Every structure is written in structure tokens, then in C-alpha cells.
Structure 1
Amino acid sequence: MKQGRYPSALLLACLLAGSVQAQQEAPVVVSGTVPDEATRATLLERLRSLYGPARVVDQLAVGPVTAPAGWNAHVVGLINSNLKLVSRGQLAIDGSKVSLRGEVASEGQRQQVAGNIAASLNPGYTVNNGLRVTASRQAVLDAALADRIIEFETGSATLTESGTRILDQMHAAMQKLQGVKVAVIGHTDNAGSRTRNLVLSQARAESVKRYLVAKGVPAESVAVSGEGPDRPVADNRHPEGRARNRRIEFKVVQ
């Protein structure tokens, strides 16, 4: 938004965190024009207190704009912990017009943020609530895997045909998660030595990564590890349990 576009109004734009997993690192850019240095200082102090000084990028200017009565208090009231529920978003305040867009993880969060905005403003303000509910990134992976087991040839890290079919679907799911880092974790049953199973589980995780990278997933977005028999999800005393324990886990880490 260009400064000077609204010569008789106040404009504030705040870019919120870039992704849910990157809340601790994404920059928060605040820009626009405010009527005086005291207002500017108050807004920056509030944002830095909420997000941390290192994350706030100050692009605010002081200029001849007109603010509604009590504007400072209303805006400071809007800048609270509820905003940290919003990702990939923008808060814009043009005089008495407030617009918030971005993503939240649930309908409950959307209502919470919207309700907080309404409670922070008087009836003279108009609010455009553009928040949308998005499925969690982990839920996207879980739905694609659907509790299925990615299979390998017995005792090796060679994927079976059924294993590659599942990975084709995991690849499609991961393509929806641009910029998200995923851990691929190999697991085995407890047959044989723990040392051998740790090596095998690592090799299988690496085999999965190679397949996904060959399909176009960026290599840097996939971390691999092998946990061998250390995290069973079923009873190793039964064949069905051992089969469930020989699995690949996909976990969003960033």
C-alpha cells in the first residue's frame, strides 16, 4: 500500500507470521502513516512486546493524516495475542475501517479472533473479516497416508510396488505444503538385533526421501531418521503387530 494514497486517513498494515510452524522466525512488517511520533512509538512498542523486537520490521512514517477519536487506544487493543493465531495474514487499518485476512487452524480460532476484534472497537468502526480456516499441515499428511504401511522388500530398503503407489500420493500431499519441512522417520519391529534394525530403518527413510526427491520434492524440505524398534505402535508378539511396527512416519517439523 502506497503512503500518501489516503491523505486524510490513517493506514497501518501488519504482515503476520508466514506459517504456523515459523511463528518464532517470520518477520512482522508494519507500514503506513501515523499522525505523530507518540502514536508510532506506542504501536511499535506493542508489536515488539507481542512478537519480539527482532521480528518487527519498522516501515512506519509520520505524516499529515487524520485519525478518528480514540484511534490509538482502539488499535493498541487490536494488537494482542489473538493475532498470533493468524498465519499468512495481513491486518490493515484505514481510519475507522479494519480489514483482517489470513489463515487460522479452526473455526473456533476464527470466531475467537473475530470476537476479539469486535470487542476492541466501538460501533463507529467497520470490520472486514477475511480469515479462513485451513487444515493443519500435519492433517494433510495424515490424511494422505491414511494409516497405511509403506512396504519394502523383506530385510531391505527396496520399496515394493504398493509402497511406491502410496508415496505417489504422499508426494501429491507434500506438494500442497510449500515451504514446510517434513521429517521422514523409519521404524521396524523387534526381530533381529537393535543395531541392525536402526541401520535398516535409517536406510528405508533415506529410500523414501530419494523417491520423493526424484518426484520433485525439494531435498532440503525432507529430513530423515531411523528409530529402529524403539517406538512400537503395536504388540511385537503377533505378526499383525510386527507388520504395523514396520512403518514410515511423516511428521511436519517446520
Structure 2
Amino acid sequence: MPPAAQTAPVVVAGTVPDEATKAAILQRARALYGAARVVDQMAIGSVVAPPNWSAHMQKLLAEPLMQVTQGQLTVEGNRVGIRGDVANEALRQQVASELANSLNPTYTISNGLRVNAPAQKVLDTVLARRIIEFESGQAVLRPSGMLILDEMAAALGQIGGRKVEVIGHTDNTGTREANLALSLARAGAVRSYLAAKGIAAASIAVAGAGPDQPLADNASAEGRARNRRIEFRVAD
């Protein structure tokens, strides 16, 4: 864990059913993070907790959480959500798995952890300058393009729901107006495909640049092929 993360305050907030539950959670949090770091913002209220809820909350406050920076653990009844940054994809899966294994099967874990790497680099590495192919002159994905988008869907999951802009590009064959429309339609097709794979459509903006941002000279077939592309750009 980075030095700054080792001294950042740990805020424990929310409503618990009784003073004993509050005391038990605070005791566990202080044992895990150190008393000086824990900030108590819990309140006592008339909430109905599942059976053995206090014991389960203490199990959640365990070593796996120490691997998370900029984190947030939320609990609503038997629904648990974990957000924050971890060092790699294996750790992202491991933390959520260990938390789930500490609870009984009536609890569900929502894994909102993301790999603490520059999000744009994650997407660029997966795309690796490959071309997402469409049927000629259409916004219909070819199977090879779908395979790449399957990998991109996994990468988007790794970066934790960051907003992304999908930008379609074309070569300069045909009219500019037709190419602008085609590039936008292809970006939209990519968004639809990713949404079908579980990526929130609201997190993906689309744009069509047509032939206006070429990577290579359109004078050659190779150059035109490079210019017909889909670009992924992290928006936040």
C-alpha cells in the first residue's frame, strides 16, 4: 500500500441498529487500520438488520480491504458493494472473492474495484493498434471485430466503469458527409455490442470523425486500411 494510503483517514459512516453493533464495528476497524485513522460517523437508528449482521460486518473488515486504496465499502442489508483501486486484475478478483467467502450465501458482493493503472493505457494495450472490422460500407461488425470487442469489454470492466468515448474514423473514399454518417453509425454499433456484453451504455459516448483525422496517407490501400478504425478515449 502506498505511504499516503497508510495514513489517510478511514471514515466509518451509516446507520446501525444498536450501540453494541457500532462498538464492535469500530473496534474491528481500529484493529485493522489503527485507531488514529478511524473516523466514526455512524449513527444509531431503527433499522432492521439481517440475522447475525454485526458478526458478518466484522468479518468484512478484514485483511483483503488493506489491498484497496481510495476505497469505499457499502452495506445495505445483505447487499455489499466494494469500490476503489487495486494493483492488478488478479487482486481485483481476489479481494472480492475473499470478501464473498467470509459471508454466508445470502449476501451478494458487487465488485466495483478497478485496476490502478492509467485507464487509457489499459484500453490502448488491449486494442494494440488492431482494426475493428466492419462489412464494407456498413455499420455491421465482422466476427473478427466482435472478438476484439469482447476483449475491450473485459478491459472496460477493469477500469471500473470510467466514461469512455468511442470514435469512428474512415478513409477519404466517397463523400465527407457519407463518411461522417458511417463513422458515427459504426461507433454506435460498437456501443450496442459492448452494452450487450454488460457495459453500461450510459458510460459510452459516441462520435464520428469521418475522414478528418487520418493516421496515414490515404493514397495507399494500406494507409486507407489504417484510417478505417475505431478509437477508444477515456473521457474522465
Q: Which residue matches 2:36?
A: 11
Amino acid at match of 1:193: T
Say which of 127, 136, 140 aligns to 2:118: 136
- Match for residue 227 of structure 1? 209
The one-letter code sitting in structure 2 at the alignment partner of 1:211 is Y
- 1:214 Cα deviation from its structure 2 partner: 0.9
- Secondary structure class of the residue paired with 1:237: coil
Are 2:161 and 1:161 equivalent residues in the alignment? no
d(CA) in 2 for partners of 1:222, 1:248 = 13
Which segments of 5 or more consecutive residues in structure 1 lack a partner in the other structure? Answer: 14-30, 33-58, 60-86, 91-101, 106-132
Give TM-score, length-normalised by structure 2. 0.55
2:189 maps to 207
Deviation, 1:143, is 1.2
RMSD, aligned α-carbons: 2.8
Within 1, Cα distance between the matches of 2:129 and 2:227?
A: 12
Matched, 1:88 2:113: no
Match of 2:133 among 151, 174, 177: 151
- Partner residue in 2 for 1:180: 162
Offset of residue 104 of structure 1:
9.3
Any residues of structure 2 matched to 1:16-95 within 5 Å, and which?
31-32=39-40, 88=70
| Equivalent residue in structure 1 for 2:219, among 237, 242, 247 | 237
How far apart, in 2, do the equivalents of 1:103 and 1:145 lie? 22
Normalised to the residue count of structure 1, the TM-score between the two structures is: 0.51
Query: Which amino acid letter does the alignment assign opposite residue 225 of structure 1?
Result: A
Query: 1:182: how far off?
Result: 1.0
Runs of 4+ in 1 over 4 A off after TM superposition: 1-6, 102-105
- How far apart are residue 208 of structure 1 and its match? 0.6
User: 1:120-131 maps to which residues of 2 (within 5 A)?
Assistant: none
Amino acid at match of 1:11: A
Deviation of 1:180 after TM superposition, in Å, equals 0.7
SS state at 1:244 partner: helix
Task: Report the 3-state secondary structure (helix = DSSP H, G, I; strand = E; otherwise coil) of the residue aligned with 2:218.
Answer: coil
Distance change in 2, residues 1:237/1:103 (3 Å): same
Q: Distance in 2 between matches of 1:104 and 1:161?
A: 33
Query: In percent, how many aligned pairs have the same letter?
Result: 56
Measure, in 2, the Cα distance between the counterparts of 1:206 and 1:89: 33
Q: 1:174-212, CA deviations, whole angstroms, 9 ceiling, x for partnerless residues?
A: 121223111110000111111111000000000011111
Q: CA deviation at 1:227?
A: 0.6
Q: Residue by residue, what CA displacement relative to the aligned partner does 1:83-123 show, whole Å, maximum 9, x if unpaired?
A: xxxx6259xxxxxxxxxxx8599xxxxxxxxxxxxxxxxxx
Q: Provide structure 2 residue ranges, at least 5 long, that are not aligned to the other structure.
A: 1-11, 13-21, 42-68, 73-83, 88-114
Query: What CA distance in whole angstroms lies between the structure 1 residues aligned with 2:153 and 2:85?
Result: 23
Larger Rg over CA atoms: 1
Distance 1:177 1:143 in 2: 13
Could you tell me which residue of structure 2 aligns to residue 27 of structure 1?
none
For 2:129, give the aligned amino acid. Answer: D
Q: Which amino acid aligns with 2:194?
A: L
Q: Does 1:252 pair with 2:234?
A: yes
Separation in 2, partners of 1:251, 1:152: 20
Q: Matched residue pairs, number? A: 146
Equivalent-residue separation in structure 2 for 1:185 and 1:174 (angstroms)? 15
Whether 1:190 aligns to 2:200 is no
Aligned mates of 1:201, 1:229 — CA distance in 2 = 9
Give the SS at the match of 1:140: helix
